[in-house]
Amino acid sequence: MTGSLTGETPQPATLRQAHIRDRFDGAQGYDGAATLQRVAARTLADDLALTMAERAHTPLRVLEIGCGTGFLSVQLCALWPQAHILATDYAPQMLERVRARLGARVDVRLMDAARPDIGGPFDVICGNLVLQWLDNPAEALNRLTGLLAPGGVLAVSTLRAGTFAEWQTACEQEGQRPATPAYPDMAALARWVPYPCQGVWRAERCVQAFGTGLDFVRHLKATGANTPRADASGMSAGALRRVATRFEESGAAVTWELAYGCFRRPARAGVFVTGTDTGVGKTLVSACLVRRWQALYWKPLQSGLADEEGDTPTVSRLAGGESTQGQGVRCFPPAGAYQASLSPEAAARAEGVTIDPALLALPMEAPQQPLVVEGAGGLMVPVTDEIMMVDLAQRWGLPVVLVARSGLGTLNHTLLSLEALRARGIAVAGVVLNGPPNPENSRTIADKGKVRILAEIPHEAGLDAPTVERLAALLPAWSEIAGA
């Protein structure tokens, strides 16, 4: 492992990006002034440590973006002494200071976080308070996700709406337009979660006091954070003094509104198929997906075997055909199969058994081949006393295909299901509507649910393999789902 600064100096995408780089390069007082940045680095490292401990996984390759002078880099070295850590930044002088701080313990590289020019995969990619400096943070997060190993984690912190509200108020009171950036609110941040990762943003607030208003201005300069927003005009010295006085009258403190996000890439290729209710067509859609993608199939929990053959043989029969090249459909056996037409929990209890969650581990055979996992009932169907079907969806980490009826009553059920998934940070691949075409419902679900309608499956009088082959053609190819 070397400590040399490698890579060509990235060319700035815009003049603004060049100004940002130059101001960080010139921030000689950064380490002494960047109190909040140090606190945020510790918090992000704590979140990362907890996330990786829950996965019982020690990362071997770690990429840090926007490393600055190394606040987070130091934390990463302490967390994972055996990991290869690559610290990157846009500002060459910042990297020199990381090298001076950590020597050969980390590799350093000049890199624009918005345009990563490096190959993966990495077990962890992280960045502390860097997203707010990028022109298109959501696009950058998607690019970085492509560098993650299966099951890898992307962890970032950023500033959100309300940051520096006290200074902005003082500016407005003096008839001045604040030059501080416009930061995203939590609703906007939710749209930054990179597909197909699972995870949510969480908010935190810190207050920092200053002796005077001008001390706050000097603080921004010392940390290199004094690049004005693109549409801001300069403020005269007199106006600046008046704003500073207003700021001091309000207490001379600013609020930092922080957001932290940890996003996990699925451990394997595949989707979890669930429905808005029982009997909405999950098994038919699962068979179509298996046929369309030449996918593997797993029904983890099966109940109702006293009344039907079960979903596994049904999918095997319906998804089979010439396109499987004589190999048939590869179906993993259920972890639990029960006779009564009840929820898995109730059906198991009727037979005097308890479902063991340890048996519900995601099959990892042929991880690059799509796996269609079909749930039982809807998201809030109980599996055990403490586990619902949505908990398993969260544990498995696969993007969800939500199956819904096309007709009357579907809007409430479908939108509530989408809200429940997003509250857990579960990625949604899209919705499949089953039944007679209903353009108004389809349009409303797509618009209000902010979701893609993958297909509208018409009612069929009878189902057989040729019918499923025809219906499967209505669904997107796997490549469209994997990178949606």
Nearest to 370 by CA among 416, 429, 283, 313: 429
Can you tell me whether residue 472 is helix, strand or coil? Answer: helix
- Residue-wise DSSP of 175-219: T----S-----HHHHHTTSPTT-B--EEEEEEEEE-SSHHHHHHH
The residues near 34 (Cβ < 8 Å, ≥ 6 apart) are 68, 69, 71, 222, 223
CB 70 within 8 A of CB 98: yes
To which H or E segment does residue 226 belong?
A: none
299 catalytic, yes or no? yes
Give which of 168, 112, 171 is closest to 140, Cα–Cα.
112
Instruction: Choose the catalytic residue: 282, 299, 448, 450.
Output: 299
- Residues 6 or more apart whose CB falls under 8 angstroms from that of 5 comprise 92, 95, 96, 99, 108, 109, 110
DSSP 159-181: E-TTTTHHHHHHHHHTT----S-
Instruction: Please give the single-letter amino acid code of residue 241.
Output: R
C-beta separation of 84 from 107 below 8 A: yes
What residues are labeled active site? Answer: 299
